[in-house]
Structure 1
Amino acid sequence: MFPKNAWYVACTPDEIDGKPLGRRICGEAIVFYRGPGGTVAALEDFCPHRGAPLSLGRVVEGQLVCGYHGLEMGCDGKTVAMPGQRVRGFPAIRSFPVVERHGFVWVWPGDAAQADPARIHHLEWAHHPDWAYGGGLYHIACDYRLMVDNLMDLTHETYVHANSIGQKEIDETPVNTRTEGDEVITSRFMNNIMAPPFWRMALRGNGLPDDQPVDRWQICRFSPPSHVMIEVGVALAGQGGYEADPKVKASSIVVDFITPETETSIWYFWGMARRFQPQDQALTASIREGQGKIFSEDLEMLERQQKNLLAWPDRPLLKLNIDAGGVQSRKVIDRLIAAERGTPAETPA
């Protein structure tokens, strides 16, 4: 159950360099490739001749050629040619609105008439030279809403990520949750604490001491359909915390694009954009490696959680105050789904 009238990250540009890519998005089997002039195209991954996956074919001069019998498809879903056959009168297969922007390929799996590229979030860090970005992709066997829950309540860091970003002060510091339209924000500010290992590494990367007390912050922002941007960082204690001068802090935006594949699996595009030492490629690689390990720790927990929920679907779950961010995010999601379907919104579990 997911909104379909929305823009989702489908892939990164390098995934379609030179060959088509098949990927299921919100239950839709889609093939992505570069058409004439290198423009990204997205079609139903279904050859109208014999039903073969078009993603098993190849791209020739901007045309998608089926790898089974050579049927050529245009970017609009219409058949173009086939050796020894007349095929231009065949019905078109479905094409999907697709946009390449901010270093990602975005797809709209719902009603194409409603697909407005202006609704794609602006990402300042993707274009500004003062920012550096590094990220990756995980396939995770869980409901996309479980990942939203995970990111909107960072209390789990103390336990799942004890050796990297977790610390007891996260548990001990209250979290504030608020809703602004369709955006949900949770925030936690921890003052005069020692930085955990990942942030000690980041402080060193910005030329700062890693053995002094710091002020730490976590500001999680959920935006529909399933994107979470998390402002995180540490500043030398007493220097202004979140508002401190960049010279005395290491801060970043954790980037989380959660794209449903099915009801119980996701494509998770993760990364970190930072605004300190953007020219340091070795630091970018080090942060990416560290963040990749952190997110891999979430992977097992989420997949095992999903299995438990499938095994006991009717078992009630407790709600705590730390769950407010995830609960409010689910309310936004349910409202969007209900609007698409013309039905009342469900109460989130």
Structure 2
Amino acid sequence: MTEQTFPMNAWYAAAWDVELKRALLPRKICGKPVVMYRKRDGSAVALADACWHRLLPLSMGELHEDNVICGYHGLEFDDTGRCVYMPSQDTINPSACVTSYPLVEKHRFIWLWMGDPALADPAKVPDLHWNDDPDWASDGKTIYAKCDYRLVVDNLMDLTHETFVHGSSIGNRAVAEAPFEATHTDTTATITRWMKDITAPPFWAAQLGQAEHVDRWQIINFEAPSTVAIDVGIAPTGTGAPEGDRSQGVNGFVLNTITPETDKTCHYFWAFARNYKLTEQARTHELREGVAGVFREDEIILEAQQEAIDKNPDHVFYNLNIDAGSMWARKLIDRMIDEEQTQKLAAE
């Protein structure tokens, strides 16, 4: 039996809101092919991407008003997944339907619930409000990563790798040497790291206009199963940032939510939000492209790691102190999976 690596009863980002138009958009989420589109009123729809009749992907068909017409034999399905037309017959088989997935549009993302629809509570959509908060300027991209989504979570929960992977931009020795605090709840894990009176790395020195004598913070907030919002920034040493006054500094949030496609591939949605110089669109573009370059370095590492794991399936991994965040994240993910499996057994 294959080990389950991701919970199904969770909200996963399936697309940026701007990706959905009056056209059929296919994507695989948690191992399931999905087709998404917008209805005439602008609301979004997500259906299983397989016709009830002969399983041809509905995404190979066409959108007609608010319905999808299969490109093989012309069966037509409405936004609930119900077949409303069959060629050459007046009676429609009552079992002719495809799954319609619960969907929420929030924080500039389309979120899908791939598990039990009765449990799909919109209030449980992960909090990434910085992505559309008027007090923040934000933009991002999507990475198609050829690795287990949990490897991305591991990478984000331990930022000491910045020293070695991102030394030319956001990393320096202070990140690897600074102490940190790990805390957690039943659904979240947090790593807090302050680096006081240090030299800022190039990226942050450019944002503040000052490199020497700064206080830097990284507060990593994980929300199970796969959302990580990282509170980052620097301020001149002595201006009160460690005590809570960040007004003299620059503050950003690195927003990440990772959606499993399969056990070894994932859709990695990210954005960088800032609360300074909000009207400078050029800066927003430059920051997005700069962060994209940083994350490309991560992508190379993660895919190489996945390849090595596949070649060494019996390798036992040992954890270091710096792995505290990823260890807690994994525990919370495993707890969600275990609860689902327990519920399934109880229902049988």
TM-score (norm 1): 0.93
Unaligned runs of 5+ in 2: 344-348
Match of 1:23 among 23, 27, 44: 27
Q: Deviations over 1:63-85 (max 9, x none)?
A: 11223333221111111224544
1:293 correspondence with 2:297: no
Cα distance between partner residues in 1 of 2:37 and 2:127: 24
1:40 correspondence with 2:44: yes
Unaligned runs of 5+ in 1: 204-208, 344-349
Cα distance between partner residues in 2 of 1:8 and 1:278: 28
1:195 correspondence with 2:190: no
Contact 1:155 1:322 in 2 (8 A): yes
1:271 alignment counterpart = 271
Moved more, 28-37 or 160-169: 28-37
1:346 alignment counterpart = none
1:124 correspondence with 2:133: no
Q: Deviations over 1:236-261 (max 9, x none)?
A: 11111255655421111100001011
Contact 1:233 1:242 in 2 (8 A): no
Q: Secondary structure of 1:177's match?
A: strand
Contact 2:126 2:227 in 1 (8 A): no
Cα distance between partner residues in 1 of 2:91 and 2:214: 67
1:140 correspondence with 2:145: yes
Moved more, 228-237 or 43-52: 43-52
Contact 1:236 1:248 in 2 (8 A): yes
Cα distance between partner residues in 2 of 1:257 and 1:115: 18
What is the aligned-residue identity percentage?
A: 45
Kindly tell me: are residues 282 and 242 of structure 1, through their superposed partners in 2, closer, same or farther at Cα, counting changes over 3 Å? farther
Instruction: Report the Cα offset of residue 299 of structure 1.
Output: 0.5
Moved more, 111-120 or 27-36: 27-36
1:174 alignment counterpart = 179
1:347 alignment counterpart = none
Instruction: Report the Cα offset of residue 87 of structure 1.
Output: 6.1
Cα distance between partner residues in 2 of 1:289 and 1:136: 9
Match of 1:9 among 4, 13, 16: 13
Q: Deviations over 1:79-123 (max 9, x none)?
A: 122454446325211111111111110000000111111111344
Cα distance between partner residues in 2 of 1:43 and 1:175: 44
Kindly tell me: are residues 298 and 87 of structure 1, through their superposed partners in 2, closer, same or farther at Cα, counting changes over 3 Å? farther
Matches within 5 A, 1:1-349: 1-86=5-90, 88-91=92-95, 92-203=97-208, 209-243=209-243, 245-342=245-342
TM-score (norm 2): 0.93
Instruction: Report the Cα offset of residue 50 of structure 1.
Output: 2.1
Cα distance between partner residues in 1 of 2:147 and 2:242: 33
- Alignment length, in residue pairs? 338
Cα distance between partner residues in 1 of 2:277 and 2:11: 31
Task: Name the amino acid aligned to 1:130.
Answer: D
Cα distance between partner residues in 1 of 2:210 and 2:187: 38
Q: Secondary structure of 2:190's match?
A: strand
Kindly tell me: are residues 85 and 200 of structure 1, through their superposed partners in 2, closer, same or farther at Cα, counting changes over 3 Å? farther
Cα distance between partner residues in 1 of 2:44 and 2:316: 45
Cα distance between partner residues in 2 of 1:211 and 1:307: 38
Kindly tell me: are residues 68 and 212 of structure 1, through their superposed partners in 2, closer, same or farther at Cα, counting changes over 3 Å? same
Task: Name the amino acid aligned to 1:42.
Answer: A
Q: Secondary structure of 1:38's match?
A: coil
Instruction: Report the Cα offset of residue 54 of structure 1.
Output: 0.9
Task: Name the amino acid aligned to 1:40.
Answer: A
Kindly tell me: are residues 87 and 285 of structure 1, through their superposed partners in 2, closer, same or farther at Cα, counting changes over 3 Å? farther
Kindly tell me: are residues 73 and 243 of structure 1, through their superposed partners in 2, closer, same or farther at Cα, counting changes over 3 Å? farther
Task: Name the amino acid aligned to 2:228.
Answer: V
Contact 1:246 1:276 in 2 (8 A): no
Contact 1:186 1:220 in 2 (8 A): yes
Cα distance between partner residues in 1 of 2:184 and 2:245: 28
* Aligned-residue CA RMSD (Å): 1.6
Moved more, 123-132 or 192-201: 123-132
Cα distance between partner residues in 1 of 2:91 and 2:121: 32
Contact 2:229 2:253 in 1 (8 A): yes
